[in-house]
Structure 1
Amino acid sequence: MSDTIKEIEKIVPFELDAGLIFSGKTSGRMVQGFESPSSFTPKEDLEYLFHESSRDVVVWFMDSSDPLYVFGPSGCGKTSLIKQLAAKLNYPVFEITGHSRLEFPEMIGHLTVKAGNMEFQYGPLALAMKYGGLFLLNEIDIIDPATAAGLNGILEGEPLCIPENSGEIIRPHPMFRFAATANSNGAADETGLYQGVVRQNLAFMDRFWLCEIEYPTPAAEAELLSRKVANLPENIRSKMIEYANSVRKLFMGEATGNLSDTIEVTFSTRTLIRWADLTIRFQPLARQGIQPVTYALDRALGYRSSRETRTVLHELAQRIFPIEDES
């Protein structure tokens, strides 16, 4: 038996007070989790700021009647939200990222040679179903609809049959959860922003509980930056958030005025934090006549974009960040 199997066989389901876990106040409402974390449990970020949408995912964890489908724009924190909530419950997460050629063996497992013998190695879906845990399928709207439809039985709570492992039947563990993330709601991408997204089968989508997540509010990101980069002046942090939201609008094609062209990059909260951190690190460059904010911006985001987009990003930065703000 592999070390992986030995470890996850030892994890013990445990009932936790939902209010105490998610808000710090006893509520009397219980949620199923695990007694202690394992190597498959995401590391908890104590400074993570939960979205307002997190209440939907919390309720889902408390009574998971259907699989969960979380969708929203790139960089809004879909995967991190699910994993941080799982971390609070000590939930093991077995994760895979979808792609156009994804096939069942990648999710279920495959035969491998070990010590001269053929042995079946479980994939993330089989592990979650057999031993209890969260199967997280990212970018589900990129996979082929025929492959996705093959999951219908599992989404309905039916057992998994593995012919390659002597016809093994895996009945869903009581702690098994199925969650997926996507940029679209399964009805294809009408915006043209996400290459590879395809329309999913209506019957497949009907099996999910859908949850839409947007970018964090300015107030939420202001609180987060105050924790992460407290030594950066508040007015600079505020303008960074304003800038990030302007870039997001350009990305989504929602900007107005002279800067109204759609661009190919967006501003995740992670990128926002990186930009603020780099601005502090590069502050000594101000003595050389180099603006730390724009210098850090290229290294946090600009260099990922085309030259045309970088010009737009710099023009936007000049509007929002007067030179005197960086002195």
Structure 2
Amino acid sequence: MLEVTDLTTPGSAPGCTSQCPVRGGCEEIQMNNVAKKNITVEEIKAAHIQAVTSQKFEPVMVHELFGFSTPLKGFEKPIPVPAERHPLSPSVDSNYVFNESLVRRVLLSMATKDSIMLVGEKGTGKSSLINQINGRLNRPSIAINAGPGVDEGYLVGFRTLGKDGVKSVDGVLSYAYRHGLSCTIDEICSLNPGVLLSLNDILQGDEVVTLKHHGIDPELDPRELLGLEGGMNIVRHPSFRLFATDNTGGKSSRDPRYAGTKGQNAAVRSRFTSFKANFMSAEKEMAALHGLNTGVDDLNIQLMVEFAFRFRVAFSQEEAFDNISFRELKRWVTKMALYDDLDESFVDAIYGNLEEADQALARELFDETFDRDLVLPEEYTTSVADQLDALTKAAVSNAAQIA
């Protein structure tokens, strides 16, 4: 049976003033710093639970929340979802199409506080799945776009000068850990491997972590984060969840499409529960594209999806350098509605990003799918040689007229 704190969100500190088990009330533990305030780990945990459970909840059936027709195994009873919308909760896309099995397994893993990694091709909806799950559960979220410039200080904090002298400030990850936010690290394999190694205690779900160095003010309430200016030991908030997305799953890859990624330590990878994010079925992709409400007709949407699947088959058979993602399909449909032209929208949404060899394949597959040649804009059909030839002919013609 899932408890209230398993899938719910952090409450604000004022929610536990009258019955707070901590000496002096929640003002004493706002910083969640065990050493500084002489507060025990158990007292901080109790205050966290009190703050969470003091919120008003609404009982919701999971399958109804995510648009499924029947209850999910393990979620036959309602779960509590906070009634008041948190300002940091992701926006809900009512037309989003979920994978039932994947959602169920991710939710169960969230309930056991696993660190979760979604691995898959570009544009398979890894980040959007995390956002839509957190949005429907009304969980405040914060995201980090990983890269070589994201270091340990950015993630878990450092010491800096304040108006009253030197102070310790949180990084994005330690702030989420302290205050009970969902934190997503996008493209985690672009981090330097040593950075992730330093986070093993957080990745494996330790209840208390010691930060080596500590920019978000630890005293700042998450609800004030949108208006942000900016202890060694911190206790994990029960609502904290860690997510990551990646194309390679932390494994070494020779795929040149993912240049800049780095293989991660096997011990780091073992601390994640990894889920494969794949392309949706053709039916679900069509349903999701219809949900955009662009006005593009059913036949064109069906043929667009068919083209994408033809290209994906070619990629799987190593006949193409790159793949066609659902993200690109969405852009094609959106531009089709904007341009009112199938060919021009295809060229700008997909064709222009392809390698030259893949462009030749795209023209062939377009012909097979739509039963006609792709009409390319002038900039793709006129070469500098053609323009030089035209200039030469014009010069000859002018000379003949003068003579």
TM-score if structure 1 supplies the norm length? 0.81
Which whole-Å deviations, capped at 9, do the CAs of 1:245-277 have from their partners, x for residues lacking one? 233344xx3147xxx2323xx433232122112
Q: Tell me the secondary structure at the aligned position of residue 274 of structure 2.
A: strand
Output the CA distance in 2 between the equivalents of 1:34 and 1:68.
22
Distance 1:34 1:109, change over 3 A: farther
Structure 1 residue 234: Cα displacement: 1.9
Aligned residue among 261, 283, 288 for 2:320: 261
- Contact 1:294/1:314 (<8 A) preserved: no
Distance of 2:155 and 2:66 partners within structure 1: 30
Q: Report the equivalent of 2:274.
A: 210
Match for 2:65 among 17, 21, 44? Answer: 21
Which sits farther off after the overlay, 71-80 or 234-243? 234-243
- How far apart, CA to CA, are the structure 1 residues paired with 2:166 and 2:310? 56
After superposition, the Cα gap between the structure-2 partners of 1:108 and 1:237, relative to the gap in structure 1 and judged at 3 Å, is same
Deviation at 1:75, TM superposition (A): 0.6
Deviation string for 1:94-133 (max 9, x for gaps)? 2102223431111123445555755544322112111101
Residues in 2 aligned to 1:43 and 1:10: alpha-carbon distance in whole angstroms? 26
Deviation at 1:177, TM superposition (A): 0.7
- Cα distance in 1, alignment partners of residues 324 and 276 from structure 2: 18
How many residues end up aligned between the 2 structures?
304
Amino acid at match of 1:210: S
Determine if contact 1:97/1:139 at 8 Å carries over to the other structure.
yes
In the other structure, the counterpart of 2:174 is 126
State the match for 2:370 in structure 1: 321
> Residue 249 and residue 149 in structure 1: after superposition, are their counterparts in 2 closer, same or farther (change >3 A)?
farther
- Counterpart code for 2:211: I
Deviation at residue 312 of structure 1 after TM alignment = 3.5
Taking a change above 3 Å as real, the CA distance of residues 77 and 85 of structure 1, as seen in their structure-2 partners, is same
Tell me the alpha carbon deviations over residues 282-316 of structure 1, each in whole angstroms, 9 at most, x when there is no partner.
22xxxxxxxx2110012212233345544443332
State which drifts further: 105-114 or 73-82.
Answer: 105-114
1:161–1:168 Cα contact (<8 Å) kept: yes
Change (3 A) 1:222 1:131: same
2:295 aligned partner? 231
Cα deviation for residue 228 of structure 1 reads: 2.2
Q: Which residue of 1 aligns with 2:239?
A: 175
Deviation of residue 202 (structure 1)? 1.5
SS of residue matched to 1:210: strand
Amino acid at match of 1:276: V
* CA distance 1:198–1:129, shift in 2 (3 Å): same
Q: How far apart, in 1, do the equivalents of 2:144 and 2:283 lie?
A: 32
Structure-2 change in CA distance of 1:69 and 1:151 (3 Å):
same
Distance across 2 between alignment mates of 1:230 and 1:99: 35
Q: 1:200 aligns with which of 264, 268, 277?
A: 264
Gaps of 5+ in 2: 1-10, 16-50, 219-230, 376-403
Structure 1 spans left out of the alignment, 5+ residues:
1-6, 284-291
Residue by residue, what CA displacement relative to the aligned partner does 1:165-204 show, whole Å, maximum 9, x if unpaired? Answer: 5943111001111111111122222544321222221111
Residue aligning to 1:107? 155
Residues 1:301 and 1:200: Cα distance change in structure 2 (over 3 Å):
same
Output the CA distance in 1 between the equivalents of 2:12 and 2:141.
11
2 CA distance for matches of 1:205 and 1:112?
32
State the SS of the aligned residue for 1:193.
helix
Q: Is the 8 A contact 2:115 2:205 kept in 1?
A: no
Cα root mean square deviation, aligned: 3.0
| Distance in 2 (alpha carbons) for counterparts of 1:325 and 1:237 | 17
Distance 2:12 2:97 in 1: 29
1:80 is displaced (CA, Å) by 0.4
The DSSP-based 3-state class of the residue aligned with 1:237 is: helix
Q: Which residue of 2 aligns with 1:275?
A: 332
SS at match of 1:105: helix
Q: Which residue of 1 aligns with 2:283?
A: 219
